[in-house]
């Protein structure tokens, strides 16, 4: 007869085994249901540094006919200098956060042994650190800004481990003024790059684009943009080099019925 006294200490191990079996079964099922998806190539050349090289990446939860693929290249492949930081600017709803979620999902699938939503993906061993979906907490008395900087500290500390970090920082330091944001963002991003990390930071603050310019070949600016078609905002969700040169915030406010006047 089973009893808590006799088998209670083994329950945690049983649950861990069931969880691992379920995870492996889910990965196998996903691969079986998507035979068109390739398996990634895992680079074992740790001396070359961290690497993420994806071609035609898409998000696994978006329908194949609706998603727009993008190429992402970060870190060294031995062929020459390539950016370790991509600073992503762009208007609202243009695809910045979705890009970060796409990279995160495919990295998790790749490192778990599953197929990836891409034409091709080569990556090294990586630890993920992200500020996606950071929230404030009434129970803990923490603002969103405090929650974000706490997470940023955790990501920087993660860089002290044996595996290089892939960081995904969404709307970096948006909860503070532009002066403090500029100084704080540059300090954090420089700290991450100096610790062999690679990754992304998205922002609406175009002043942060200067950080990539100052970092030389270690960083690059990329952006998403929109256009007005028949009086409506349209997006193509394609990542382009450089800094975005326009904003759609006022147009979106007008679209939901807010009277914000005309552009000056």
Task: Give the separation between CA 167 and CA 31, rounded to whole angstroms.
Answer: 27
SS3 of 252, please? Answer: helix
Q: What is the pLDDT of residue 169?
A: 94
Task: Give the separation between CA 8 and CA 169, rounded to whole angstroms.
Answer: 41
For the chain, 264 residues long, give each residue's pLDDT as a single digit of tens: 567 777 888 899 999 999 999 999 999 999 999 999 999 999 877 667 899 999 999 999 998 888 899 999 999 766 667 899 999 998 888 889 999 999 999 999 999 999 999 999 999 999 999 998 888 777 787 888 888 999 999 999 999 999 999 999 999 988 888 889 899 999 999 999 999 999 999 988 888 888 888 888 889 999 998 887 776 778 889 999 999 877 777 777 777 778 777 765
Helices (H), the chain: 4-7, 11-33, 96-112, 144-158, 178-194, 209-214, 249-255
In the numeric block, the tokens 């500390």 are attached to 157
Tokens at 70, concatenated: 């993008």
CA 218: distance to chain centroid? 18
Using DSSP bridges, classify how beta strands 51-57 and 120-124 pair: parallel, antiparallel or unpaired.
Answer: antiparallel
Q: What is the pLDDT of residue 251?
A: 73
| 91 phi/psi in degrees, rounded to 5 | -80, 175
Q: What is the pLDDT of residue 1?
A: 58
Q: Are 111 and 140 in contact (CB under 8 A)?
A: no
Residues recorded for the chain: 264
Tokens at 198, concatenated: 């690679």
CA distance to 18, 23, 110, per residue, from 31 (Å): 20, 12, 12
Q: Are 107 and 117 in contact (CB under 8 A)?
A: no
Q: Are 110 and 141 in contact (CB under 8 A)?
A: no
Q: What is the pLDDT of residue 209?
A: 85
Q: What is the pLDDT of residue 49?
A: 84
Q: What is the pTM assigned to this prediction? A: 0.87
Q: What is the pLDDT of residue 258?
A: 80
Q: What is the pLDDT of residue 152?
A: 94
Task: Give the separation between CA 99 and CA 93, rounded to whole angstroms.
Answer: 11
């Amino acid at each position: 007869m089973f009893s808590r006294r006799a088998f209670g200490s083994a329950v945690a191990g049983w649950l861990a085994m069931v969880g691992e079996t379920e995870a492996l079964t889910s990965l196998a099922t996903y691969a079986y249901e998507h035979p068109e998806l390739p398996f990634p190539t895992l680079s074992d050349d740790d001396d070359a540094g961290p690497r993420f090289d994806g071609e035609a990446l898409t998000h696994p939860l978006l329908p194949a006919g609706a998603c727009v693929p993008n190429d992402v290249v970060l870190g060294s492949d031995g062929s020459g200098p390539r950016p370790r930081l991509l600073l992503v600017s762009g208007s609202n709803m243009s695809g910045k956060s979705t890009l970060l979620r796409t990279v995160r999902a495919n990295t998790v699938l790749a490192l778990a042994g599953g197929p990836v939503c891409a034409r091709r993906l080569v990556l090294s061993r990586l630890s993920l650190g992200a500020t996606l979906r950071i929230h404030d907490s009434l129970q803990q008395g923490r603002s969103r800004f405090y929650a974000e900087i706490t997470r940023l500290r955790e990501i920087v500390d993660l860089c002290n481990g044996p595996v290089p970090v892939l960081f995904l920082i969404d709307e970096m330091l948006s909860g503070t003024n532009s002066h403090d944001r500029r100084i704080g963002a540059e300090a954090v991003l420089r700290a991450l790059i100096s610790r062999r990390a690679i990754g992304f930071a998205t922002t609406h603050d175009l002043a942060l684009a200067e950080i990539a310019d100052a970092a030389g070949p270690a960083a690059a600016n990329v952006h998403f943009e929109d256009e007005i078609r028949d009086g409506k905002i349209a997006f193509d969700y394609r990542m382009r080099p450089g800094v975005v040169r326009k904003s759609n915030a006022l147009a979106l406010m007008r679209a939901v019925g807010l009277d914000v006047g005309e552009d000056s």
